[in-house]
Structure 1
Amino acid sequence: MQDKLLNAPSFARLHLILLGLELILAFIIGVCFVALGSGGGAWILGGIVAGAVLFYGYRHYNPQAQPNRNSRKVGQILVGLTIGFSIQHSHLSELSFQLPVFAALTIFLLLCGGLIGYLYSRLEKIDILTAILATVPGNIGVMASIAADHGGNTALVSLVQLARFTTIIFVVPVIVNVPNSHSVAQIVSSLMDKLFTFDANYLFLLFLLSSITAIAVYLGKKIKLPVSAFLCSILVGLSFNSLPIVSSDDFALPPLVNLVGQMLLGLTIGEYWGINSKLKKRTIAYAAIPVSLTFLAGFLTAALATVLTDWDWLTCLLVASPGGSPEMILVALALHHNVEIVTAGHLVRLLTINLLLPVMIAIATHLDRRFAKLQDPKIQDNGTTSEPLT
């Protein structure tokens, strides 16, 4: 025990060094993606590649190492602030009438995910709970931890969720053709904007923004608000310019904040790939089936959105895409295309999924017990057997 305590600071330093190296490599890869004409997901993709490569190597030194979820939370905070500052207050009042539509689209996507999960469970010969947790759009870490708490296959849940995240992050920016500058010099120049600003008023407002965000995220976590880091930072960014001492003309986030946030979002996904680096061909082939079906469900949901609303196809696709909410909103930001609608749609989805998860878990558990009882009549509804104790 004492040796472990002595080694704890060294492992903490190693984690910090690893994070620094991941960010440097993610930036280099991201610049290469942009220079090659990649879409708006270049920085997230750079983070995925860097996280997978470096974390895979780090696991040889520390086999027990797990992906750093705090990196994704910090990434969600930075991206959430960027999104909050980008939303126009004047457009928000119009969205309140569309909340039933957002909820209907989410429920339709969840029903599709549940059906895909059931089909996947029959194909892979696994329990329904594991299959549904693997196929319903949600947070990788949350779904995997729920699987662990209920005796599900955590590795399989992580794999399918990870494959879904990565596929959609790669494919959606290509489909929508997100523009990016190919000039590396222009990219670096824009990132340096406001990075070395020493104006006292600007630094005070930046410190005030950081403090308010930290308090809001802490309070959100205390009241167990779903995805509190992301939701609270959006609300802070949205509200900050409304403060009497803040002028939107004089204060703006440094562009580097958004870039680092995107890379951190990608790093966690890459680190999960670093854990799942050795996969059987059969497992990958079977995982590709629910991922493809979930992608198809996203297109069906987008088609439903075109019927229920007057949004254009691109907006419907971004709202319905079953990828990470921060990533899909970032694509809308890169396009400057209906950011308010896409943000509202994904926030409603995040809240709805987290509220309905206990119901889905209960239904999946009930079905698993029913199927187990059909196979073995001695099994009771509570999962125990009816054999007398001897």
Structure 2
Amino acid sequence: MWRTLLAALLGGALFKLVHAPVPWLLGPMIAVLIGSNVRSGLFLWPGQLRNAGMIIVGYTIGLSLTKEALKEMSYQLPTMLLMIVLLLSFCAGIAFLVSKLSKSDFKTALLGSVPGGLTQVIALAEETEGVNLTVVTVTQVIRLMMIIVCVPFLVFNPYFGLAEHNSAAALSMPAGTPAGWSGFFPDVLPFAAASVVCAVLGNRVRFPTAYLLGPALITAIMQLSGLHGPALPSLLIDAAQLMIGAYVGLLLKPQQLTDKVRTISLAVGSGALLLAGSWGFAALLTQLHAVSVPTALLSLAPGGMDQMGIIAHEIDADLSMVAGYQLFRTFFIFFAVPPLLRMLFAYSRSRAGQAKEQP
């Protein structure tokens, strides 16, 4: 664990030195990824540390869910549904293309392309007969890493017209970043206790991404009841990025693949297509609502809500809108997609059985 922490700190410091976007997320992730694959078995990062980072990010997201923000999100529910249906249809098209190019089964390609949470998609793959679990895992992890790496560079690109920023100073110091720890204690203590309790209880009842959504929801509820949570010091935000980045860096294990070149090439290609599709849907969203391209892209990017929330916080995007769209997609995919996929796979099995019975 200490070896992993040292690699993560060095990676974050290097990315900070070269002024890379979201340095304490990308730097630890890439450093740990390289180190763990060069010296396999020597790196370890407990899931509890990742969960702690997600609680911190969840609290930050909850602070943005004010009464005004929630009212604005309620007006956009039809748009949220439209965007998730378009995104899932696009993912199904990518899966069909990948299955034809790789001559593999459609079920494996589809589960590898679903833009859901990594844990729930892998759990669904384990329950589905005939699915190559290794291919699904590697495809999902590569897609997740491509999004985490590429999205920051896209939203920091000056050609995107960052509406939230008018100067380089705004990029280096977001408007909502506090100057220090003044007034942080003891105001944060009730929020911290409630966030941890809701995260643990949510995980026990299998709430989707409980360590992120539990703190976000309880913080929003406490704020709506009249309490005011303090903004987090930048050091805590950086620490949360490191804890999440180091964990993600350990997920990808290419040595477990049998056909590395083909699988990784198709995963990278499908990830690039998904990014391009998200970009297109973001452009459509900016036409439907008065939002900037970076906010729209982070709202629709098929990554984790924790990573997109961190990036939104770093560039001072509309965090409440990003959280609202990502939250809606998380619940839709968690509750609606698994039964739909099971129905689709059962239908395909019955069709295959009928075809075999025919002379």
State TM-score, norm by structure 2: 0.83
Give 1:145 shift.
Answer: 2.4
Q: Deviations along 1:72-94, whole A, 9 cap, x unmatched? A: 33322111112222444433222
Contact 1:79–1:257 (CA<8 Å) still a contact in 2? no
Whichever residue aligns with residue 35 of structure 1, its letter is L
Question: How many residues are aligned here?
Answer: 343
Contact 2:117–2:330 (CA<8 Å) still a contact in 1? no
Whichever residue aligns with residue 60 of structure 2, its letter is T
Whichever residue aligns with residue 289 of structure 1, its letter is G
* Residue number in structure 2 paired with 1:80: 58
Whichever residue aligns with residue 320 of structure 1, its letter is L
* Residue number in structure 2 paired with 1:238: 220
Matched, 1:48 2:29: yes
Output aligned runs, 1:167-246, within 5 Å: 167-177=146-156, 193-194=180-181, 203-241=185-223
Give 1:315 shift.
Answer: 2.3
* Residue number in structure 1 paired with 2:326: 346
Distance 1:192 1:338 in 2: 20
Q: 2:142 aligns with which of 163, 166, 171?
A: 163
Judge which range, 337-346 or 219-228, deviates more: 219-228
Give 1:45 shift.
Answer: 1.0
Q: 1:321 aligns with which of 301, 306, 325?
A: 301
SS class of match (1:272): coil
Contact 1:144–1:155 (CA<8 Å) still a contact in 2? no
Q: 2:313 aligns with which of 307, 327, 333?
A: 333
Output aligned runs, 1:289-308, within 5 Å: 289-308=269-288
Distance 2:69 2:78 in 1: 17
Whichever residue aligns with residue 72 of structure 1, its letter is R
Contact 2:36–2:42 (CA<8 Å) still a contact in 1? no
SS class of match (2:290): coil
Give 1:167 shift.
Answer: 1.1
Give 1:53 shift.
Answer: 3.7
Matched, 1:149 2:127: yes
Matched, 1:285 2:234: no
**CA RMSD after TM alignment:** 3.2
Q: CA 1:71–1:129 in 2, change beyond 3 Å: closer, same or farther?
A: farther
* Residue number in structure 2 paired with 1:382: none
SS class of match (1:310): coil
Contact 1:127–1:368 (CA<8 Å) still a contact in 2? no
Distance 2:293 2:41 in 1: 46
Q: Deviations along 1:345-373, whole A, 9 cap, x unmatched? A: 11111111111222332244135425644
Q: 2:98 aligns with which of 113, 117, 120?
A: 120
Distance 1:378 1:78 in 2: 58
Contact 1:329–1:343 (CA<8 Å) still a contact in 2? yes
Give 1:54 shift.
Answer: 4.4
Distance 1:204 1:314 in 2: 35
| Structure 1 unpaired stretches of 5+ | 1-17, 380-390
Give 1:229 shift.
Answer: 1.4
Distance 1:61 1:336 in 2: 37
Distance 1:326 1:159 in 2: 20
SS class of match (1:328): helix
| Structure 2 unpaired stretches of 5+ | 158-164
Q: CA 1:242–1:375 in 2, change beyond 3 Å: closer, same or farther?
A: closer
SS class of match (2:317): coil
Contact 1:83–1:234 (CA<8 Å) still a contact in 2? yes
Q: Deviations along 1:55-104, whole A, 9 cap, x unmatched? A: 44674469xx8x75444333221111122224444332222111111121
Distance 1:103 1:217 in 2: 27
SS class of match (2:115): coil
SS class of match (2:250): helix
SS class of match (1:226): coil
Distance 1:229 1:81 in 2: 10
Whichever residue aligns with residue 78 of structure 1, its letter is I
Contact 1:192–1:256 (CA<8 Å) still a contact in 2? no
Contact 2:66–2:224 (CA<8 Å) still a contact in 1? no
Whichever residue aligns with residue 291 of structure 1, its letter is G
SS class of match (1:337): coil
Q: CA 1:247–1:78 in 2, change beyond 3 Å: closer, same or farther?
A: closer
Contact 1:147–1:154 (CA<8 Å) still a contact in 2? yes
Contact 2:55–2:211 (CA<8 Å) still a contact in 1? yes
Distance 1:27 1:236 in 2: 31
* Residue number in structure 1 paired with 2:244: 265
Q: CA 1:370–1:312 in 2, change beyond 3 Å: closer, same or farther?
A: same
Q: 1:38 aligns with which of 20, 37, 44?
A: 20
State TM-score, norm by structure 1: 0.77
Distance 1:38 1:133 in 2: 32
Contact 1:49–1:270 (CA<8 Å) still a contact in 2? yes
Whichever residue aligns with residue 333 of structure 2, its letter is I
Whichever residue aligns with residue 154 of structure 1, its letter is L
* Residue number in structure 2 paired with 1:276: 254
Whichever residue aligns with residue 318 of structure 2, its letter is N
Give 1:206 shift.
Answer: 3.7
Q: 1:309 aligns with which of 289, 296, 314?
A: 289
Contact 1:105–1:304 (CA<8 Å) still a contact in 2? no
Distance 1:371 1:56 in 2: 43
Contact 1:302–1:316 (CA<8 Å) still a contact in 2? yes
